[in-house]
A = this chain, B = another copy of it.
Amino acid sequence: MTKPALSRSAYVDAALDIIAELGVDKLSMRKVATQLGVSPMAMYKHFSAKDDLLAAAFDAFIARADVIPSDDLPWEQWVEQAGRGMYLALCAEMSWVPLLGSLPMGKQAATVTDAFVKKLQLAGFKLDQAVEAYYAVIQIAVGAVCLRASLGIADIRTPDAGELSSLTQNYLENADAARLTIAPVQEALLKRDQIDIALPLLIEALRARLKRQS
């Protein structure tokens, strides 16, 4: 009996399964192939290299994350929800984080761009301002997830109330008076959702900019 030829998306789905279970760092060409009952080398007919598979998997991940908010929201809330959506999707699958700086944006990312720019243009922003705002939100979402990851927060559970984050623990080595004052404030800040640090400030600045030109 001849095996049906495996499609590109079959490999991508298998990769996403393995990533969900073991994390991006444990993904290997061999594991994907084994899950599909195929030789590892079969994949090189569909993907030029592991990076290619990873980029395709990330784009599929973005599609599933579904970060585009409902259209009837006012722009401030729309932007806030879009940024939070990106942040939350990545928080749920934090093993992507170390690769965030090396993954190329694919087709699904482009549809998010389109929706964002359109929403802001309808709100009265100029095209270049809308594009600028989009990339500012992306930066902040990615930065927030990176910061969260550096805190050593595990994927699911929130940190135990009594326990200092690893970041604050490091900070308190060789502590002086200033650090002892700063540490609890830092710890309180970092216990909140990291997306709430810079995103509200950004939206404030955008609102001021819009008001100034109307």
A113 CB, min distance to chain B CBs, angstroms: 7
Stretch at the interface among A3-11, A125-133, A155-163: A125-133
Contact with B along A131-154 (1 / 0, CB 8 A): 110011011111111110110100
Each complex incorporates copies of this chain amounting to: 2
Q: Does A18 contact B (CB under 8 A)?
A: no
Give the residue of B109, B110, B185, B206 whose beta carbon is less than 8 angstroms from that of A201: B206
Q: Contacts of A127 on B, CB cut-off 8 Å? A: 181-182, 185
A56 CB, min distance to chain B CBs, angstroms: 12
Is A182's CB under 8 angstroms from B152's CB? Answer: no
Q: Contacts of A105 on B, CB cut-off 8 Å? A: 150, 167, 170-171
18 A-B interface contacts by CB (under 8 A): A97-B102, A107-B174, A110-B170, A113-B186, A117-B182, A118-B178, A135-B197, A136-B197, A139-B140, A139-B143, A139-B144, A139-B197, A140-B143, A142-B147, A198-B198, A201-B201, A201-B209, A208-B208
Q: Does A106 contact B (CB under 8 A)?
A: yes
Q: Contacts of A182 on B, CB cut-off 8 Å? A: 113-114, 117, 127, 131
A171 CB, min distance to chain B CBs, angstroms: 5
Docked Cα-Cα span, A79 to B114, in Å, equals: 32
| Complex interface residues of chain A between 23 and 53 (CB less than 8 A to chain B) | none
Q: Does A71 contact B (CB under 8 A)?
A: no
Q: Does A68 contact B (CB under 8 A)?
A: no
Give the residue of B101, B113, B136 whose beta carbon is less than 8 angstroms from that of A100: B101
A8 CB, min distance to chain B CBs, angstroms: 15
Docked Cα-Cα span, A118 to B177, in Å, equals: 12
